[in-house]
Amino acid sequence: MNYTILDCYTDEASGLGVPPYIGTYPRYLYGHLKNKANVVNYITIDDLRYLKIYNNIRKEVTKKDKTNIRIHNLTRDDISPILEKTDVLFVNLGVHVPGKYLTAVPGTLKEVIPLIKDIRCKKILTGPAYFGTQLEGGKFSEKTDMSIFNEKKWFNFSFKDLKKISIDGVDIIKQIKNYKIIEIETGVGCNVGKCSFCTEPIKNRFLNRPKEDILKEIKAYYDLGARYFRMGKQADFYSIDEPIWLLKNIRSQCPDIKVLHIDNTNPVFVVKKGGDEITKAIVKYCSSGNVGAFGVESFDPEVVRANTLNSAPKISMRAIEILNKYGSERGDNGMPKFLPGINIIFGLNKESKKTHECNMEALKKIMDCGLMLRRINIRQTALLEDTPLTKTVGNKFLKKNKKYYWKWRNDIRQNIDNPLLKRLLPKGTVLKDCIAEIYDGNTTFLRQIGTYPLIIGVKGRVELGKFYNLKIIDYMLRSVVGEVV
Ligand code: SF4
């Protein structure tokens, strides 16, 4: 049997699998299939577009063009020999929390179905799309004719299964050319949340992955040469199985790790007893530029109540202070060591003009107290099947308030994001090890490798794929302008 995994990339509230991240789904599937097949291939939606839309011809990017990120993540020059021999094609797909991606465009069902239609093999749809998918915020799940798929399958590997599967899966990175950040899973489900928009409590019951297994998986990738890791597949890093033990042991067993970051962080557990100690350990053992992404979603108490959000505004503020207290010192790559990031969602139940006022009031307070945020993510909720939000109010508030979203977002970008950015990176700060990612006209965009890296625009073109140290010379709304030093 020849199996092929087609990675169309995934993005969920807990877990990122859009390049440069390699998510858990293709890795685990690879490990699961490896011992059942003669060959398991890993290809990407970029490979498929390159073959089917561009006939395997890449145009030169002239000084007027932008790098074509739809075909940026190729694994090979030509996948047709692979497709000809494929017996079963596993299509890994699903975006639940749509974002903007600098170097990739996730595949949608609408896009991928016509592209695989004439491939003669069995086709299985897998990944978060099992629960619905939507690449654009503010919309219901994609509705498409799925009859092309022989099966729709959710591989519900237990942590016991993953002991072997996750290690068998590490060889997948031998088939990937570009650098990769390995997204590591530390737990499933959510121990507190019943947030109205979220699919995590629907997908999984809360369970932590054994810390020894997490360590073994990281070590296995490290031994193959991987140096960039994010422990990002979990609802809350502070609630995982002995986080301090884990961080300490990763550092001692993988001493040359370059990036070790985390992601989702529940403010409730940051302020709880023991939270200070975990924060200090994250600062000590992780690399700089680290972000604890707080799912605040809204500072409006009425919205918090109506959507059973996990953190009350007061608790979120206290958690922001704690991360700033221990993590705001500048680290060796030029970024503060560990800062909070905030997620704000538009379109939740009971959203009103007052919601924006509450958000602005809280964000202004953060500024006035001299605190820092690494970033504020603002998005319109996607309405996924079976979530309480979809089942109760659906798109009622999205429709009602849509006319304000540009204004609300712009208010935050102009009056909060931009001044906070200047505080975060005063002019003259040097950011080290920024990789050149894409061109847009006569500008090169670079970023550091890791979680929520800042985008830095540099005038002129520097060679892509190479690392540079950049001095900050100016600011855009959410990004910065730098020059090579
Ligand atoms: S805290 Fe809320 S958003 Fe986060 S995983 Fe739990 S239910 Fe989902």
Question: What domains sit in the chain, N to C, each tagged with a CATH number?
Answer: 2-152 (no CATH), 184-424 (3.80.30.20), 430-484 (2.40.50.140)
Q: Is 441 helix (H, G, I), strand (E, B) or coil?
A: coil
- In the chain, how long is the greatest CA-to-CA distance? 62
Per residue in 293-321, pLDDT (tens digit) is 998 999 999 999 999 998 899 999 999 99
Residue 145 binned pLDDT confidence (cut-offs 50, 70, 90) = confident
Whether the pLDDT of residue 271 is over 70: the answer is: yes
Six token digits for residue 420: 């906070």
Query: Which residue has the least CA distance to atom 8 on ligand 1?
Result: 198
d(CA 224, CA 226): 6
d(CA 184, ligand 1 centre) in Å: 18
Contact, 1 vs 36, CB < 8 A?
yes
* Tokens read off for 281: 């350990």
Q: What angle do CA 34, 40, 43 make, to 5 degrees?
A: 135
* Cα 474 to averaged position of ligand 1 atoms, centre (Å): 36
Name the 3-class secondary structure at 215: helix
Q: What is the per-residue DSSP string for 234-256?
A: SS-GGGSS-HHHHHHHHHHHSTT
- Is the pLDDT assigned to residue 470 strictly greater than 90? yes
pLDDT of residue 38: 83
Residue 199 and residue 386 in contact, taking contact as beta carbons nearer than 8 Å: yes
Confidence of residue 477 (pLDDT cuts 50, 70, 90): confident
Per-residue model confidence as pLDDT tens digits over 378-420: 999 988 888 999 999 999 999 999 999 999 999 999 999 999 9
Mean pLDDT of the chain: 94
Which pTM does this prediction carry? Answer: 0.94
- DSSP assignment of 50-102: HHHTTTT------TT-B--GGGS--SSS--HHHHHH-SEEEEEEEESS----S
Per-residue HEC secondary structure of 313-347 comes to HHHHHHHHHHHHHHHCCECCCCCECEEEEEEEEEC
Residue with CA closest to ligand 1 atom 4? 235
Q: What percent of the chain has pLDDT over 90?
A: 85
In the predicted structure, residue 273 carries a pLDDT above the cut 70: yes
Confidence of residue 348 (pLDDT cuts 50, 70, 90): very high
Distance 205 CA to ligand 1 centre (A): 12
- Which residues lie closer than 8 Å to 395 by C-beta, 6 or more apart? 138, 140, 347, 383
Residue 373 has pLDDT above 90, yes or no: yes
How close is the Cα of 317 to the center of ligand 1, in Å?
18
- 């370059």: which residue's tokens? 258
16: Cβ below 6 Å to ligand 1?
Answer: no
Distance, CA 14 to ligand 1 centroid (Å)? 8
Residue 14: CB within 6 Å of ligand 1?
A: yes
Encode pLDDT of 414-441 as tens digits.
999 999 999 999 999 999 999 999 999 9
267 CB less than 6 Å from ligand 1?
Answer: no
- Exposed / middle / buried, residue 173 (Cβ in 10 Å: 0-12, 13-18, 19+): middle
Q: Give the residue whose CA is nearest to atom 1 of ligand 1.
A: 193
Is pLDDT at 144 greater than 90 in this prediction? no
What are the start-end ranges of the E strands in 335-466?
Answer: 338-346, 375-380, 430-440, 443-448, 456-459
Give the distance (Å) from ligand 1 centre to CA of residue 195.
6
Instruction: Take atom 7 of ligand 1 and give the residue whose Cα is closest.
Output: 193
Position 138 confidence tier, pLDDT thresholds 50, 70, 90: low
Mean pLDDT check: name the lowest of 140-144, 180-184, 366-370: 140-144
Is 88 near ligand 1, meaning CB less than 6 Å away?
Answer: no
Q: Which atom of ligand 1 is nearest to the CA of 190?
A: 6
Q: How confident is the model at residue 50 (pLDDT cuts 50, 70, 90)?
A: very high
Report residue 137's pLDDT band, with 50, 70 and 90 as the boundaries. Answer: low
Q: How far is the CA of 237 from the centre of ligand 1 (A)?
A: 12
**Per-residue pLDDT, 155:** 92
CA distance 304 to 315: 12
Note the pLDDT tens digit of each residue in 74-131. 999 999 999 999 999 999 999 877 778 999 999 999 999 999 999 999 999 999 888 7
